[in-house]
Amino acid sequence: MLERVLGSSSAQLSRDAAVGHGLVDAVSRLSQQLDVLSDPQRIDGIQRRIKQVLVDMDRLDMATTQAARAVESTADAKGPSAARIDPATAKRINELYEKLTAVDSLIELAPATARRLQSLATLHAEASEVVNRIGRIEREQEGAHEEINTMKEIADSLTAAIGDNSATLTENMRILDSRIFSLSSRLDKLSR
C-alpha cells in the first residue's frame, strides 16, 4: 500500500515483490544501516582501525623505500653480489609485507568508509540540530505549562472572588429587600 501511495508502478511492485525489494524492505534495510552507522562507538572503532591501517601503511612505505635504497646503494657500492640483507631486516620486511597483504584488502574499503564517515558527520550535525530543536521545544513547552498554571491560578482566584462577591451581593440584596419591606410597611401604616 505504501508503494502505491508513493507512486511505484504495479510492474515495478510485482518485480520488487518477487525479488523482495519493496519500498518497505528498502526503508527497513536503510533504517538498520543508519542505526549501525549512527552508533558513535562503532564509528569511533572504525576511525581507530583506519588510523592504525594508515600508520601501518606509512611504516611499510618507509621500510620499503629504505630497503630499496639500501639495496641500490649496496648493489652500486659492492656490485651485484653484495645486495644481501641481514636477517633482522629481512624479517622486518617480511612482517611488513604480511601486513601489507592484510591492508591491501582494506584499501578498497577506505574510500567508501571515508564517504560514509563524511555522510555520518553530516548526519551527526543534523541529529545535533534536531536535539537542539527538541530541547528548545521542551523549554517552550515548560514555559507554556508555567503560563497555563499561572492562568489557572488567576482563574481560580477570580472564581473565588466572584463567588465571594456574589454572596455579598445576595446578602446586600436581602438586607435591601428587608429594609424596603420595612419602609413600605411603615408608609402603609402612616398612610392609614
Window from 121-130, 167-176, 181-190 with minimum mean pLDDT: 121-130
The structural domains of the chain, with segments of one domain joined by +, span 1-37, 41-191
For residues 51 and 106, the answer to whether their CB atoms sit within 8 Å is no
pLDDT of residue 77: 55
Query: Using CA atoms, how far apart are residues 178 and 176, in angstroms rounded to an integer?
Result: 5
pLDDT of residue 74: 66
Confidence category of residue 125, pLDDT binned at 50, 70, 90: confident
Query: Using CA atoms, how far apart are residues 89 and 85, in angstroms rounded to an integer?
Result: 6
More confident residue, 141 or 73: 141
For residues 116 and 37, the answer to whether their CB atoms sit within 8 Å is yes
Residues 6+ apart with CB under 8 A from 89: 67, 70
H helical segments located in the chain? 2-6, 10-19, 23-37, 40-78, 87-107, 109-191
For residues 22 and 16, the answer to whether their CB atoms sit within 8 Å is yes
